[in-house]
Amino acid sequence: MLTWDRYISVASLDEAFSHMSRHGGAARVIAGATDLLTWAREGRAGDVHYDAMLDVTNIALLSGIRMEKGRVRIGANVPIADFLRDPLLLEHAPVLRRCAVWFADDQIREQATIGGNLVNASPAADAVPPLLAMNATVTLWQRDAQGLASRTMPLSDFILGPGTTALQPYELLGHVEVDPTGAWGTAFEKVGHRRSLVISTVCLAVLVRLDPTGRYFDDVRIAIGAVGPVPERLHDVERLLAGRAVDAGLVAEAAQMAEHRVRSRSRQEYRREVLVHFIERGIVNALRECGLVLERAGRDEEVSHA
């Protein structure tokens, strides 16, 4: 059961940090809070009590989507539903739309935030592979004796392990920045134990850009999740493909390279098979968005949701 004494809605970082200092570890910062009740139950955290729930959804600095110095800035309070409807994201980060289609259901998408998805640091967090593929950085805010201060780091350095991040006590995630990738071919693949409200067993995002001739890989970015303790980029696979002529055999070879990346404690053989299949299919689908139709070297059967 989850209980608390006070529910506090704040409108500024200063106000948030004041309450965090006052209540210390007995305050819980929330935005969408979609995972909170499922965490505070028997079998997970059990009975949980806080002195205060600190709602940060009204902080303007943590909200909004805009272009800033050639990068797309996404506030930590932005709901996953905006991946499906925000014009700037649809134009410059279309892979997020593909991700959001798989994310829970309409009601949860309206409530769940990108910041919460990152701070929870689930190995199966759907938003992380697309963000990693877009070279995401995160900006963190704190208050010290000189006032408000921020620091920025790659998302790959922020997520340290299951449920563990580089976020320090009395620090808040402010926003995420990503490369604009509207001209890239994109794909997002996901499978889980069921077809609705599914938690990933394997998920990945693929971005592909071809050279001006349309025959060579100019750049490829592949990020995977749910197969190890943290989502990760497949830099070795990307290096194999970059600058090479597009070829079905090469794509199949690249996909096979990722087999050893599965480090989950369960269903390893299944995950290896699915991961290889997804990488190959994801690259083929991203190429199709670039206007190049490539026949796969292997079978194109659907992966079972078992």
Contact indicator for 156, 233 with CB cutoff of 8 Å: yes
Q: What is the mean pLDDT of residues 244-259?
A: 97
Given CATH 3.40.50.970, say whether it is the number of domain 65-178. Answer: no
User: What span, in angstroms and rounded, lies between the C-alpha atoms of 222 and 70?
Assistant: 22
Q: What is the mean pLDDT of residues 191-197?
A: 64
For 94, residues 6+ apart whose C-beta sits below 8 A from its C-beta are 181, 182, 186
Look at the domain 185-289 and name its fold: Enolase-like; domain 1 (3.30.390)
pLDDT value of position 297: 66
Least confidently predicted of 132-136, 157-161, 191-195, 226-230 = 191-195
pLDDT value of position 38: 84
pTM to 2 decimals?
0.94
Q: Is the backbone of residue 39 left (phi > 0), alpha (psi -120 to 50) or beta?
A: alpha
Decide the pairing of beta strands 217-225 and 200-210.
Answer: antiparallel
The residue extents of the domains of the chain are 2-55, 65-178, 185-289
Interval 115-166: pLDDT, tens: 999 999 999 999 999 999 999 999 999 999 999 999 999 999 999 999 999 9
Look at the domain 2-55 and name its fold: 3.30.43
- DSSP label at 113? B
pLDDT value of position 58: 97
* Total residue length of the chain: 306
